[in-house]
Amino acid sequence: MPSPSTAPRPIPATIAAVIRDNQVLLVRRANPPDAGRWGFPGGKIEHGETPFEAATRELAEETGISAEPLRVFTAVDALDHDNAGHLRQHFILIAVLFRWTAGEPVAGDDALEARWVDLKALKGTSLALSLDVAEVAHEAAALMSEVLA
């Protein structure tokens, strides 16, 4: 086991939660963690970027969608394990709520697919979702309802 000073540190990243007409924007990820699973557009925060800037950049790169960042509303862990169960990477995903402004999703960058998914069908969906996606999506939708009220 590495000493605390040499152990890898968690990697800060963002996810973009875009809600429109009772739907959430999701992408099917091409890369670990969760390759092949559906989750929010997002990725690592680059040096000097704020979570808003990183989430906006990743949203555009992965989906072509334009949206306005409104607020950070939660954070979740994404742990990437190898086949033997050893931790390779630990991401801390900072969730940013967005108001959709323009565009329809087109998969780009490291997204295999991108599409709007009905919030009501999210929990019963046959889509392979990343951990916490349904819960975070419903939390985002509740916050969006408050913003629009």
Instruction: List pLDDT tens digits, range 128-147.
Output: 999 899 999 999 999 999 98
Round the average pLDDT of the chain to a whole number and report it: 91
Phi-psi region of 55 (alpha: psi -120 to 50; beta: other; left: phi over 0): alpha
Is CATH 3.20.20.70 the right assignment for the domain spanning 11-148?
no
Distance CA 25, CA 10 (A): 26
Give pTM, 2 decimals.
0.91
pLDDT, position 67: 97
Q: Are 65 and 40 in contact (CB under 8 A)?
A: no
Residue 6: band (very low, low, confident or very high) from pLDDT cuts 50, 70, 90: low
Tell me the pLDDT tens digit for each residue of 17-28.
999 999 999 999
